[in-house]
Structure 1
């Protein structure tokens, strides 16, 4: 058998590639695949209202019937790192009637991780209804919401005018998913 320069080159490349792989020993400097090198124990818990500062508003009121208004709600974490995902369970109340407010259709709902002092927000958006027309509008008294994974009820006075009715069971109102806020 005759050895050609191509065979010698291929043999040298293979030998160098194998030695670059290392001996397979553990030098203790790296964590096994899929684990945290710093000793972290897993995902953060859901954010709880009692560990957040919640700023409701001020609203951007709809100026006239048919116009859109919104109420930003800002959440600042005052506790350990926590997560928010989805939309808050939201209801609007007037007299003895309540309406469940749905999330914005088609909006992405990313999971947000809030470190201490980090902020997130969601927005309640509505269409203003015609004043004095109970068939087409309702004047809310309060809005209530719960954060995902937390049973604590947050209740706030409704700051704006009437809200348009889609039907007796539905307001022209939506709630956005949580989004990062601040810097």
Structure 2
């Protein structure tokens, strides 16, 4: 009867290993689940390089400062431009690769919203009044006024001619 304890041990090991697999692998494996989000960080929009006329490009810097325990920024921020009931999501810069930044308390990072100014009153321009920024892992968006003029659309106002850069470490 030596086969019975060995079979039970092997079966138990298979069950334990199977219980660890959710069928598609663990999506959080290797990720730091302490995202820089919701109350632990401050987000501020800095002085912009304005696009003075339709067709010109402007840049709006956004800084994030960790106010709490060490956290991680991974991926891209979600940026939505809104004009009344109309809104549009800004895409990531073409070719930009997201990096993982760890921020200790007091550390800062930044990203840039680049946009092409649209013509006021043009159907293909979004007359943005606010910008909503959601950091990766955050449940809440932070809303700021958009005072940089209309944003040109790529054929229509719901596809803004704007991009978001990757996070960059500020300082050392």
Which TM-score bucket, shorter chain as reference?
0.7 to 0.9
Equivalent position of 2:12 in the other structure: none
Equivalent position of 1:161 in the other structure: 149
Distance 1:139 1:43, change over 3 A: closer
Q: 1:107 aligns with which of 96, 99, 119?
A: 96
Whether 1:135 aligns to 2:123 is yes
Number of equivalent positions: 141
Answer yes or no: is the 8 Å Cα contact 1:44–1:113 preserved in 2: no
Cα distance in 1 between the residues matched to 2:90 and 2:33:
27
Cα distance in 1 between the residues matched to 2:106 and 2:84:
37
Q: 2:70 aligns with which of 57, 71, 81?
A: 81
Equivalent position of 1:24 in the other structure: none
Cα distance in 2 between the residues matched to 1:138 and 1:152:
23
Distance 1:51 1:72, change over 3 A: same
Supply the RMSD in Å over aligned alpha carbons: 1.6
Equivalent position of 1:28 in the other structure: none
Q: 1:150 aligns with which of 130, 133, 138?
A: 138
TM-score (norm: length of structure 2) = 0.77
Equivalent position of 1:122 in the other structure: 111
Q: CA deviation at 1:75?
A: 0.6
Could you tell me which runs of 5 or more consecutive residues in structure 1 were left unpaired when the two chains were aligned. Answer: 1-41
Whether 1:71 aligns to 2:60 is yes
Deviations 1:42-85, CA, capped at 9 Å, x for gaps: 94611113111211122111111111101111011110110001
Could you tell me which runs of 5 or more consecutive residues in structure 2 were left unpaired when the two chains were aligned. Answer: 1-30
Cα distance in 1 between the residues matched to 2:133 and 2:79:
4
Cα distance in 2 between the residues matched to 1:165 and 1:43:
36
Cα distance in 2 between the residues matched to 1:63 and 1:79:
38
Larger-Rg structure: 1
Answer yes or no: is the 8 Å Cα contact 1:85–1:177 preserved in 2: no
